[in-house]
Amino acid sequence: MKVKKAIIPAAGLGTRFLPITKAIPKPMLTVLNKPVIQLIVDELLNSGIEDIGIVVGKDAEVIKNHFAENLELEDRLISDGKTELLERVKAIKGSAKITFIEQKVANGLAGAIIAAEEFINNEPFAMLLGDEFLYTEKGKRPCIGQLIDVFNETGKNVLSTMEVDDVDVSKYGNLGVEEIKPNLHKVYDIVEKPKVNEKLSNYAIIGRYVFASGLIEELKKLTPRNNEIYLTDTLLDLAKKGEVLSYKFDATRYDVGDLFGYVKANIELALKEESLVEDTKKLIKELSEKI
C-alpha cells in the first residue's frame, strides 16, 4: 500500500519560545513571510501528498484561520487588481485537503498519532514535526518525498536521520545502525536523548517519518511513563524485529523550535530570496566588520 496521508503534530506548547507562543502556536512562527506549518504543507504537496491531518491543541484558531478561505480578503485583492498577492493567498493551501484533529491531552508524539487514528484509517502514513523546516532547492525531491520513496520500495518504517556532533547527541533520538547501501541503514537499536557516553552512534532521528500500517495498534499497548507515551518504545520493538530503516536525507534542516535555529533559517532563506539577497549580503558584510 502506498503512502497517501500525512500528519503534522502541532499541539506542542512551545515553551522555549515564550512569550510569542503564549497566544501564537509554535508552527505559526515564520520563516520570512510564511509560517513553518505552511512550508511543511508545501513539502508534502511537492512530494505528492495532499491528504493532510494537522493535530492541534485546544487553541488552534490561528492555524485554522491561516488555512481557511478568506473571501473578503480575496475579493478585495481582486477588485484592487493585486493578482500577485491573490496568488500568494491562494497558494497557502494549494491543493491540500486539510483535516484538523484535536489532541485533547498533551501526551507526546505517540499521543498525537493515536489522536489521528481515525484519519489514518490503518494506512501507512508520513509524519512531519511542526517545528522543523527541511529545505530543498526548487525542483528537487523534498525530504519527506525521499523517505516515501524508500518506504514504497521496502514497505518498512523509515526514519529520517543526520549525523550530529557529540554536543548535540542528547537532543535527539539516537540510532544504532547497520549500512544497507549509501545513505540507507537498518536500525537495530534506539535510545531517546542519551548522554553522550551512552550514544549508539552519531545518527540522530530528525522530524520526518514514514510509518507502515499497524503502528497505532502497537502504540496503544504502551503504558504511559510520566503521563507520556513514548513513540521510541514502539520504534525500538519494531527495530528489534527488523522493521525499521533510517535514511540520511539530502536537504538542509532548520530547527525552528530553537531560537538560534530560527534566526539561522531566516537569514539563510533571505540569502536565497531574490528580492532580499543583495540587501542581506550587504547587511552581513557591514555587521561582520563591526564584530
DSSP codes joined into one string, 11-79: ----GGGTTGGGTS-GGG-EETTEEHHHHHHHHHHTTT--EEEEEE-S--HHHHHHHS--HHHHHHHHH
Each residue 133-172 as x (binds ligand G1P by CB under 6 A) or -, in order, gives ---------------------------------------x
| Closest CB 124 distance from ligand G1P, rounded Å | 20
Pick the closest to residue 132 from 265, 4, 269 (CA basis): 265
The piece of 22-30, 134-142, 198-206, 240-248 that touches ligand G1P (CB under 6 A) is 198-206
Q: Counting beta carbons within 10 angstroms of the beta carbon of residue 139, is it exposed (0 to 12), middle (13 to 18) or buried (19 or more)? A: exposed
The piece of 64-72, 161-169, 199-207, 277-285 that touches ligand G1P (CB under 6 A) is 199-207
Each residue 106-125 as x (binds ligand G1P by CB under 6 A) or -, in order, gives ---x----------------
28 is a contact residue toward ligand G1P (CB under 6 A) = no
Q: Counting beta carbons within 10 angstroms of the beta carbon of residue 36, is it exposed (0 to 12), middle (13 to 18) or buried (19 or more)? A: buried
The piece of 38-46, 116-124, 142-150, 204-212 that touches ligand G1P (CB under 6 A) is 204-212
Phi-psi region for residue 187, left (φ > 0), alpha (ψ -120 to 50) or beta?
beta
128 is a contact residue toward ligand G1P (CB under 6 A) = no
- Closest to ligand G1P by CB, 141 or 193: 193
205 is a contact residue toward ligand G1P (CB under 6 A) = yes
| Closest CB 109 distance from ligand G1P, rounded Å | 6
Phi/psi for 97 (5° steps) reads: -110, 105
The piece of 16-24, 42-50, 205-213, 214-222 that touches ligand G1P (CB under 6 A) is 205-213
DSSP codes joined into one string, 231-243: HHHHHHHHHHTT-
Whether the Cβ atoms of residue 120 and residue 131 lie closer than 8 Å to each other: no
Whether the Cβ atoms of residue 146 and residue 250 lie closer than 8 Å to each other: yes
| Closest CB 248 distance from ligand G1P, rounded Å | 14
239 is a contact residue toward ligand G1P (CB under 6 A) = no
270 is a contact residue toward ligand G1P (CB under 6 A) = no
Q: Which residues bind ligand G1P (CB under 6 A)?
A: 109, 129, 132, 172-173, 192, 204-207, 232
